[in-house]
Structure 1
Amino acid sequence: MPLPADTIDQAAPGKRQAAGTQTLLRGLAAIECVATGTTDVKGIAARLDTPRSTVHRMLNSLVAEGYLHHVPYKGYLLGPKLIQLGMKALEQRPLVALARPHIEELARRTGDTVHLGVADGGEVFYLDKIPGTRGLEMRSRVGLRMPLASTGIGKAMMLGLPPSRWRELHAAVMATADGASDRPAPAPWPKYEKAMTASLRRDWVLDLEENEIGVRCVGAPVRDISNQVVAAISVASAVPYMPDERMTELGPVVRATADAISKELGWKQDERATRHP
């Protein structure tokens, strides 16, 4: 029995809305595929479980609007409009704008690479990076995500968490660490806990090649007006430039820069004695 005309009219807008939402989400998923290295129609179609003809039309539309760029015989790249939107997104994050002069000065002072990041679940999300002057290439980049428990920035942000959470984050990294990769496993839990407890007292942390072989970091947390850890910074360099003695010297320097950024966010110096969880 056919539906009454008024029922059809009422149902149609909802169906159109659902279809439009599905198309939007599929387009965003295609962009994410390109961002993570799947750049050909066949690969994108497989990841989206969508017919190639549909994916091809969608990609053409994204290219036409500037969200993607197509290189013949090579595939798709992120387009100029996404670069513009990414810059706007960074500009709208007051943390990045407030922190930038401080981390630039820290990079100039140390000659090393300086990072700014925030926590996103159990991961670090890198917001900014000032390259050092030593010619060292490392895999960190703006937009990268890495485990909290294996990075200098991540461990610095963990200082704002109850120590009871540390083991959970440590276990998550241990479960995914691969001894054959360039991200070795962190120290066993008893040693890791001891190091984090020492870091809590001095308010800065060390990354001794736990995230990337050949790279050491010193990190410190950034706090806001409510005394909560909202970000962290780190100074990173190759092992030859980061002997134990220099890392010990850098700790208070990195913490001082983090404190300067914290003051920009409304944090008060006299809260240091009570700011640990």
Structure 2
Amino acid sequence: MTDASSLTPLDPDAAAPAGTQTLMRGLAVVQAVADGARDLKELCARIGVARSTTHRLASCLVQERYLRVLPGVGYVLGPKLIELGFQAREAFPLATLARPYLDGLAELTGDTIHLAVRDNDEVLYLEKIPGKKGLEMRSRVGHRMPLAATGVGKALLLDADEPQWKALHRVGGPVSSRAPGGQQGWEAFRERMRGYAAQGYAFDLEDNEPSIRCVAAPVRDASSGIVAAISVSSTVPYMSLERMDEMVPAVRDAAMRISAELGWIIPAAASARPGRPAAS
């Protein structure tokens, strides 16, 4: 049970310690609470500072609303951090945050790079970096395409349920039958989506535009929800099925790096994966 006396903030008029070391310790307290520390004893153990100093730091953070104290729970992150998080997100639009990683992926692959978000039943393209191989695609910034027919659209739908997949397939599914097996009906689409959802990426196998293939991956924010997707696209001569498989790690890596910029915590298993290519 949490020691209530250890959570009571000091006198608001009490002066906080000064200096860079104090700043770093205060940030360490916030991080410790974010990692699950709930009482003073646990905070002291996490940051390695004396109880009195830790108490004073935590009290100042509560006073300034960076932390709060919940009865029966202990220290939790405070409303000031929520406010700052939204301000930080608004200050750096998604396309701005993503651009360095998109540029890195473009340099790595030489292919066309897209960044897109969901807009109702469609994909809305926010960014496009043309490839270096002289081919043109009809996509452009501000352009919309059906979710179910595009690689980025499928990546945006990886967390959706099957009824939603079916509804979107019905209104704007793949317009061709160029995927392996030549079938683009609902059952074939569902099986492909099940595989993509399990693997965390999606392909466009000429579903939307003749001779165009792409590898796509979702971008997540701090809530772990999918908020965008990126893709690498090229024509069939440059994008064999073997090359598509080889490019998956790089595309997923770039998507995870953008996700980290949005506050998503990369799972340990993903970050520890050997041989993950850098996208920047």
| Contact 1:96–1:127 under 8 Å retained in 2 | yes
* CA deviation map 1:106-152 (0-9, x unaligned): 01100000000000000000000011111111111000000000001
Cα distance in 1 for partners of 2:194, 2:175 equals 23
The amino acid of 1:109's aligned partner reads L
1:173 maps to which residue?
Answer: 172
3-state SS in 1 of match to 2:184: coil
1:80 maps to which residue?
Answer: none
CA positional deviation for 1:160? 2.5
Cα distance in 2 for partners of 1:271, 1:130 equals 31
Alignment of 1:121 with 2:120, yes or no, is yes
Cα distance in 2 for partners of 1:271, 1:118 equals 26
- For structure 1, list consecutive stretches of 5 or more residues without a partner in the other structure: 1-90, 180-184
TM-score (ref. length: structure 2): 0.60
Alignment of 1:198 with 2:205, yes or no, is no
CA positional deviation for 1:93? 6.1
Cα distance in 1 for partners of 2:201, 2:116 equals 15
TM-score (ref. length: structure 1): 0.60
> Which residue among 238, 254, 261 is the counterpart of 2:235?
238
Cα distance in 2 for partners of 1:146, 1:187 equals 17
CA positional deviation for 1:187? 1.3
3-state SS in 2 of match to 1:225: coil
1:155 maps to which residue?
Answer: 154
The percentage of counterpart residues that share the same residue type is 51
| Contact 2:176–2:208 under 8 Å retained in 1 | no
* CA deviation map 1:146-192 (0-9, x unaligned): 00000011000001222331111001115x9599xxxxx98111111
109-118 or 164-173: bigger deviation? 164-173
Cα distance in 2 for partners of 1:117, 1:231 equals 6
Aligned residues: 177
3-state SS in 2 of match to 1:240: helix
The amino acid of 1:224's aligned partner reads D
- For structure 2, list consecutive stretches of 5 or more residues without a partner in the other structure: 1-89, 271-280
3-state SS in 2 of match to 1:165: helix
Cα distance in 2 for partners of 1:271, 1:166 equals 30
CA positional deviation for 1:202? 1.0
Cα distance in 2 for partners of 1:166, 1:272 equals 28
Cα distance in 2 for partners of 1:263, 1:247 equals 24
CA RMSD of aligned residues (A): 2.3
1:136 maps to which residue?
Answer: 135
| Contact 1:150–1:186 under 8 Å retained in 2 | no
Cα distance in 2 for partners of 1:194, 1:136 equals 31
CA positional deviation for 1:92? 6.7
1:87 maps to which residue?
Answer: none
The amino acid of 1:151's aligned partner reads T
1:43 maps to which residue?
Answer: none
The amino acid of 2:234's aligned partner reads S
The amino acid of 2:205's aligned partner reads L
3-state SS in 2 of match to 1:269: coil
Q: 1:177 to 1:238 in 2, by over 3 A?
A: closer
CA positional deviation for 1:271? 8.0
Cα distance in 2 for partners of 1:151, 1:256 equals 20
Cα distance in 2 for partners of 1:161, 1:103 equals 25
Cα distance in 1 for partners of 2:149, 2:210 equals 12
2:99 maps to which residue?
Answer: 100
Cα distance in 2 for partners of 1:271, 1:149 equals 31
Q: How does 1:47-66 map to 2 (within 5 A)?
A: none
Cα distance in 2 for partners of 1:239, 1:104 equals 22
CA positional deviation for 1:247? 0.5
